[in-house]
Structure 1
C-alpha cells in the first residue's frame, strides 16, 4: 500500500492496484475494505452457478469465506500466505478495465473494473475469485415439503 492509499478508501487509484489492495484487506481481515473494492452493483461468481449481486450479497459471501479461513492472500482458496508472488495487469479502455492476476502456481484470475466518478477504480464483475469457495454459498433458506 502506498502512502496515498488508505485502507478506508473505496477502490484503488489504478485498476492494476486492486489486486494488491485485495491481498492487504484479506491479510488484515478487513471485510469493509474488501467490499469497498467492488461497485455497489457488482456481481461475484460463486460455486454451482450461483452469484452474489450487490454489496450486501458480496459482503455476506466474503464474510463467510473469511470466517472459514479459505481466502488466500491473492484470492485463492487456502490459508493466507504472506508475500505470495502475484503479477497483476490491466487492459484499460476509457472507464473500463479488464484486470488479471497470475499467482505463483499459474492460476489466473480475471475481473472487470470501472472508474468511478471520483476517479477511483472498483471491480464490477468478478467471475473467478470465489467460484471454487464452497464456504461462501448462502445457507439454505427453507426445506422442500415432502408429500
Structure 2
C-alpha cells in the first residue's frame, strides 16, 4: 500500500522517507520528490526525475534495509525553499533541498543522502 501523505513541514520528508523505506514502499518514496528532482545515490550516481529515482529505490528496498531516523536538524527555510539535513545513526549526513508546492506541501527537489561522515 502506497503512503501518499503530504509533507506539511520540510522535515516531514525525512520522517516519511524512513517510514516508507522500512515498509518497502517504492511509490511512496518517489512521491517525496518533485517530478524533475535530482537524487545523488548511490554515491557517484545521479538519478534525475521520477523514473530514474524509482529505479534507485526499487534496488534499495529490494535489499530490505531497516532504517532508523537518526537526528533530524532544524530546517533552514527561506521563502519556498528549505534546506533539510539529518545525521544518520551510521554517522552519514544527508542534505536535501525541499520546495513548497502550490498546495502548501513540501517535496524534495535535490537529495544528497550520503554527503559526509
TM-score (norm 1): 0.69
The offset of 1:48, in angstroms, is: 5.9
Structure 2 residue 20 is matched with structure 1 residue 25: yes
Query: Which residue number corresponds to residue 109 of structure 2?
Result: 124
The offset of 1:117, in angstroms, is: 0.7
Query: Which residue number corresponds to residue 71 of structure 2?
Result: 86
Report the Cα distance in structure 1 between the residues aligned to 2:43 and 2:25, rounded to whole angstroms. Answer: 26
DSSP-derived class of the 2:74 partner? strand
Query: Which residue number corresponds to residue 8 of structure 1?
Result: 4
- Return 5+ residue gaps in structure 1 as ranges: 1-5, 70-78, 132-147
Query: How many pairs are equivalent?
Result: 114
- Return 5+ residue gaps in structure 2 as ranges: none
| Contact 2:17 2:32 (8 Å CA) reproduced | yes
DSSP-derived class of the 1:29 partner? coil
Taking the TM superposition and a 5 Å limit, the aligned residue runs for 1:93-112 are 93-112=78-97
RMSD, aligned α-carbons: 2.1
Report the Cα distance in structure 2 between the residues aligned to 1:49 and 1:84, rounded to whole angstroms. Answer: 23
> Once superposed, which parts of structure 1, at least 4 consecutive aligned residues long, lie more than 6 Å away?
none
| Contact 1:19 1:88 (8 Å CA) reproduced | no
| Contact 1:25 1:34 (8 Å CA) reproduced | yes
Would you tell me which structure has more strand in proportion to its own residues? 2
Larger radius of gyration: 1
Query: Which residue number corresponds to residue 61 of structure 2?
Result: 66
